[in-house]
Amino acid sequence: MRTRIVAAVAGLAASVVGFAGTAQAGKDLDAVRARGTVNCGVGIGTAGFMLADSQGKWKGLSVDVCRAVAATIFGDSEKVRYVPLTSQQRFTAVQSSEVDIVMGNATYTLTRDTALGLDFTGIYYYDGQGFMVPKKLGVKSAKELSGATVCVAPGTTTELNLADYFRANKMTFKPVVIEKVDEIRAAFFSGRCDVYTTDASSLAATRAANVPPPQTIDDYVILPEIISKEPLGPVVRHGDNQFADIVRWALYAMVEAEEHGVTSKNVDEMLKSDNPSIKRILGVTPGMGKALGVDEKWVYNIVKQVGNYGESFDRNVGMGSLLKIARGQNALWTQGGLQYSPPIR
């Protein structure tokens, strides 16, 4: 996508000023504690991930990670100050301490992790390029798409991935190249092309929000094949390892809680569990909180106030939401997905 240009510009900007992650260890965390809130940079409205609702409250999967961090540090998931950022601003904002974490649906890449003086602390959503087709075509797999007309935005990695995928599978396609997102959608929904390809999360949002009546969301299917890697992760400044650890483990704790079946509903009963892993996670057996430098009940607070990863996924982007994205790669590793937390012990 635009990642390269953004990375190049931000990299240039960073090198001009000579950023090298000079912050002292613990400085960012101290600043957060003194301030009493986590400054969380969020993208400009993306359905399911970060969007202000009718009451102006920020909600979404990305927002929940920030809330988990606040729950870890303060025991209160509401102690977050949301700063809306565009994709041009987001890395500068975290470099210049305007925000502590950026949840801007940024793809985790090597150049961003190194050259920008930033750290990615995990992956909260495995995104990737997918295909959407009208249900009436009866297509079940991207392998059946030979000869299809495909709507795609020009000059992006999406376009290159598309060509590579079809060539690798010895299929042909007719591209319909349109610059503006709104026009691509209109072309697809009016039937000018058989297939629309872009990041799967964006396909789901398009399907949830832009299907023109009288057609409905059920008239379109997103095919299971994902042909590129776009892992989305929280971004923090390079330098304060303790703060980065907290952000990293706040996300892992959500995944770990799901793996052990701890949900916001049963977390109070789980406190009485005999399972040593659960006792450790929930702080019944102390030690984990101290190791991370936070309250022993940190996971309890996250799960109680925000929910485990599965709950958050389902509520914001999964089957419990209008986006209806399948868990797919974002299922737990025990269920064939990629979401995996190192053990909390």
Partner 1 sequence: MTDAMPAGDRKPIAPPVDETGPLGWARKNLFSSWGNGITTIVLLAFVVWVLDWFLEWALFTANFTATTGAECRGGGACWALIREKFRYIFFGSFPYEQHWRPLFAVIAMLAMLVLSADRRMWNWRLLVIWGVGSFVTFLLMFGQLHIPLSLILAVALIAGGIGLALRSGLATPSERMAYYALVGIGAVGLVLRIAGVLPSWSIAIAPLSYVETSLWGGLPVTLILATYGLAFAFPYGILLALGRRSNLPLIKGLCVGFIELIRGVPLISLLIMASVMLPLFLPSGTTIDKFLRAQVAVILFAGAYIAEVIRGGLQSLPKGQFEAADAMGLNYPQKTLLIILPQALRVVIPPLINTFIGFFKDTSLVLIIGIFDFLNTANQALVDPNWAGFPGEVYLFAAFVYFIFCYSMSRYSKYLELELNKGTRR
How far is the C-alpha of 94 from the C-alpha of 83, rounded, in Å?
Answer: 11
By the rule CB under 8 A, 73 interacts with partner 1? no
Are the CB atoms for 104 and 60 separated by under 8 Å? no
CB nearer partner 1, residue 55 or residue 190: 55
CB nearer partner 1, residue 253 or residue 325: 325
CB nearer partner 1, residue 122 or residue 239: 239
CA-derived radius of gyration, the chain = 21
The piece of 12-20, 268-276, 289-297, 306-314 that touches partner 1 (CB under 8 A) is 12-20
By the rule CB under 8 A, 24 interacts with partner 1? no
Q: Is 210 helix (H, G, I), strand (E, B) or coil?
A: helix
By the rule CB under 8 A, 34 interacts with partner 1? no
Q: Which of 34, 53, 110, 136 binds partner 1 (CB under 8 A)?
A: 53
Shortest spacing between CB 47 and partner 1, in angstroms: 5
CB nearer partner 1, residue 105 or residue 321: 321
How far is the C-alpha of 180 from the C-alpha of 195, rounded, in Å?
Answer: 16
How far is the C-alpha of 332 from the C-alpha of 337, rounded, in Å?
Answer: 5
In DSSP notation, 84-151 reads EE-TTTHHHHHHTTS-SEEES--B--HHHHHTTSEEE---SEEE-EEEEEEGGG---SGGG-TTEEEE
Shortest spacing between CB 264 and partner 1, in angstroms: 22
Backbone φ and ψ for 20, nearest 5 degrees, come out as -140, 30
CB nearer partner 1, residue 185 or residue 297: 185
Neighbouring-strand partners of residue 222: 132
Q: Which of 36, 45, 320, 342 binds partner 1 (CB under 8 A)?
A: 45
The piece of 51-59, 132-140, 219-227, 284-292 that touches partner 1 (CB under 8 A) is 51-59
Q: Which of 88, 111, 172, 335 binds partner 1 (CB under 8 A)?
A: 88
Phi-psi domain of 45 (left: phi exceeds 0; alpha: psi -120 through 50; beta: other): left
CB nearer partner 1, residue 90 or residue 248: 90
Are the CB atoms for 316 and 64 separated by under 8 Å? yes
Cβ neighbors of 268 (< 8 A, separation 6 or more) are 304
Burial (CB count within 10 angstroms: exposed 0-12, middle 13-18, buried 19+), residue 217: middle
Q: Which of 89, 201, 228, 301 binds partner 1 (CB under 8 A)?
A: 89
Q: Which of 1, 73, 93, 302 binds partner 1 (CB under 8 A)?
A: 93
Are the CB atoms for 162 and 188 separated by under 8 Å? no
Task: Tokens 């598309």: give the residue.
Answer: 162
Shortest spacing between CB 237 and partner 1, in angstroms: 9
Residues 165 to 224 in contact with partner 1, rule: CB under 8 A: 205, 208-214
| H runs (alpha helix) in the chain | 3-17, 27-35, 61-74, 90-95, 110-114, 157-168, 181-189, 200-210, 241-259, 267-270, 276-281, 288-292, 298-305, 309-316
Residues near partner 1 (CB under 8 A), total: 46
Shortest spacing between CB 319 and partner 1, in angstroms: 14
By the rule CB under 8 A, 44 interacts with partner 1? yes
The piece of 15-23, 64-72, 164-172, 277-285 that touches partner 1 (CB under 8 A) is 15-23
Residues 97 to 126 in contact with partner 1, rule: CB under 8 A: 97-98
By the rule CB under 8 A, 321 interacts with partner 1? yes
The residue ranges that bind partner 1 (CB under 8 A) are 13-14, 16-17, 19, 22-23, 31, 44-48, 51-58, 81-86, 88-89, 92-93, 95-98, 205, 208-214, 321-323
